[in-house]
């Protein structure tokens, strides 16, 4: 049976092997393995790509979120509003600062945080909100930015799934006060290991992130504030520089695949992903919905078509997050989505024939 995997990272390496191997060799030969030329060049190139003034590398997307929160001086006693239907990393980053994650529901038509629910959740302790640009589709930013201005709270974008996505013609990661990206290998721009970055147009926030990500050092061995160690690895930066040059082409291919899925699935009894008018998504995931998701998924698996679920349990229902005090039924749109969503294979190397095979299997099953 010809398997169609949910993702295939090795194919991308094969395609780029000479460039990637040269970048790795260049780094090894340089003798500089921590915060060398590759990291600073990548920071400049990625900031340019995202149309922001500053980028600071970090060890992961989760760390990038924590650093962004810490740069905004958020900690114990503060509240941060975020969606429950997200990678648990978003919420883990908030908890790590000591702040309380106030989780709210999603807009079911878009899967991103519902701005009306944010407005209802704001308290005098609210210091920030984190819109997550889930599946590569930017959140509904206008009401979020308006609220932030009115209430004087920070907007921290979780852009881990949205490298290159546009909202009203502007790049994800350049829309709020500060943003976090992940370069986890499966992301639209993925390293061959862990990595992340914090982006901002605000020089003060950029400077604080730069201090915080390396022991609070401005000058070596002198901690001007308490910081941590969260550096983008030099080797990963060299690899990311190679891959960044291909990102627009890869995102374009993801959009083509999404269009083909939409065409081939138009008569299937599944709900297709939204395409809001104010965005140009980058389809980190192509997420359909079906009331009997688990049986559809099992039937596809039996045909050699691998799918994933992002995410099967909203964070407020995870056993480790019982402290948030939100019971089943409290965020109904997130809970229902978690039961019905299914992420189909989507990556630039997927062929039209494979897409058609996935779609025709779904048409015959749903």
Ligand X SMILES: Cc1ncc(COP(=O)(O)O)c(C=O)c1O
Asked if 69 touches ligand X (CB under 6 A), the answer is: no
Which stretch, 28-36, 81-89, 199-207, 322-330, contacts ligand X (CB under 6 A)?
81-89
Cβ–Cβ < 8 Å for 297, 249: no
Closest by CA position to 232, among listed 63, 22, 11, 32:
63
The answer to whether 359 and 268 have CB atoms below 8 angstroms apart is: yes
Q: Which is nearer to ligand X, 42 or 362 (CB)?
A: 42
Q: Rank residues 85 and 357 by Cβ distance to ligand X and give the closer one.
A: 85
- Asked if 90 is part of the footprint of ligand X (rule: CB under 6 A), the reply reads yes
Say how many Å lie between the first and final Cα of the chain, rounded. 22
Tokens of 14: 């094969």
Q: What would the x/- binding string for ligand X be over residues 242 to 261, using CB under 6 A?
A: --------------------
**Contact between 343 and ligand X (CB under 6 A)?**
no
**Which member of 47, 89, 239, 265 binds ligand X (CB under 6 A)?**
89
In DSSP terms, 126 is beta-bridged to 79
Q: Does 238 bind ligand X (CB under 6 A)?
A: no
Separation of CA 330 from chain center: 25
Are 162 and 173 spatial neighbours (Cβ–Cβ below 8 Å)?
A: yes
For 355, the 3-state DSSP assignment is helix
Using CB under 6 A, which residues numbered 172 to 211 contact ligand X?
Answer: 182, 184, 194, 196
Q: How far, in Å, CA of 15 to CA of 3, rounded?
A: 20
For ligand X, the binding residue among 12, 27, 52, 62 (CB under 6 A) is 62
**Is position 57 an interface residue for ligand X (rule: CB under 6 A)?**
no
Q: Is 86 in the site for ligand X (CB under 6 A)?
A: yes
Nearest approach, Cβ of residue 222 and ligand X (Å): 29
CA torsion sign for 116, 334, 271, 170 is positive
Q: Nearest distance from residue 87's CB to ligand X, in Å?
A: 4
Largest interatomic CA distance in the chain: 65
Within 142-171, which residues bind ligand X (CB under 6 A)? 158, 160-161
Task: Tell me whether residue 89 or residue 358 sits nearer to ligand X (CB atom).
Answer: 89
Asked if residues 123 and 299 have their Cβ atoms less than 8 Å apart, the reply is no
Which region among 19-27, 48-56, 58-66, 253-261 touches ligand X (by CB under 6 A)?
Answer: 58-66
Rounded Cα distance between 145 and 80, Å, is 15
Contact of 134 with 287, CB cutoff 8 Å: no
Near ligand X by CB under 6 A, which window of 15-23, 70-78, 87-95, 143-151?
A: 87-95
Residue closest to ligand X when measured from CB atoms: 61
What are the φ/ψ torsions at residue 103 (nearest 5 degrees)? Answer: -90, 135
In this complex, which beta carbon is closest to ligand X, that of residue 96 or of residue 262?
96
Residues in contact with ligand X by CB under 6 A are 60-62, 86-87, 89-90, 132, 158, 160-161, 182, 184, 194, 196
């Amino acid at each position: 049976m010809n398997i169609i995997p949910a993702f295939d990272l090795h194919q991308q390496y094969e395609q780029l092997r000479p460039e990637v191997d040269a970048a790795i060799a260049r780094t090894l030969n340089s003798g500089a393995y921590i915060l060398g030329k590759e990291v600073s060049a990548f920071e400049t190139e990625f900031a340019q790509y995202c149309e922001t003034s500053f980028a600071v590398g970090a060890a992961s997307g989760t760390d990038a979120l924590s650093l962004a929160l810490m740069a905004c001086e958020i900690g114990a006693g503060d509240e941060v509003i975020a969606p429950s239907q997200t990678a648990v990393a978003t919420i883990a980053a908030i908890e790590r600062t000591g702040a309380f994650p106030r989780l709210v529901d999603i807009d079911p038509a878009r899967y991103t945080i519902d701005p009306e629910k944010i407005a209802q959740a704001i308290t005098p302790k609210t210091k920030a909100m984190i819109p997550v640009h889930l599946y590569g589709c930017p959140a509904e930013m206008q009401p979020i930015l308006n609220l932030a201005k009115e209430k004087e709270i920070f907007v921290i974008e979780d852009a881990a799934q949205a490298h290159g996505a546009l909202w009203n013609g502007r790049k994800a990661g350049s829309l709020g006060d500060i943003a976090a990206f992940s370069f986890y290998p499966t992301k639209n721009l993925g390293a061959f290991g862990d990595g992340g970055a914090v982006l901002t147009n605000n020089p003060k926030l950029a400077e604080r992130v730069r201090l915080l990500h390396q022991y609070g050092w401005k000058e070596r061995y002198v901690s001007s504030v308490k910081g941590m160690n969260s550096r983008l690895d030099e080797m990963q930066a060299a690899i990311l520089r190679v891959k960044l040059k291909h990102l627009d082409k890869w995102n374009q291919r993801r959009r083509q695949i999404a269009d083909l899925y939409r065409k081939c699935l138009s008569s299937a009894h599944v709900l297709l992903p939204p395409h809001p008018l104010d965005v140009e998504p980058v389809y980190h995931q192509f997420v359909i919905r079906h009331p009997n998701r688990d049986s559809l998924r099992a039937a596809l698996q039996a045909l050699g078509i691998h799918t994933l679920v992002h995410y099967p349990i909203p964070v407020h229902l995870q056993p480790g997050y019982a402290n948030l005090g939100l019971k089943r039924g409290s965020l109904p749109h997130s809970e229902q989505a978690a039961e019905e969503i299914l992420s189909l294979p989507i990556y630039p190397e997927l062929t039209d024939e494979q897409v058609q095979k996935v779609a025709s299997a779904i048409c015959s099953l749903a």
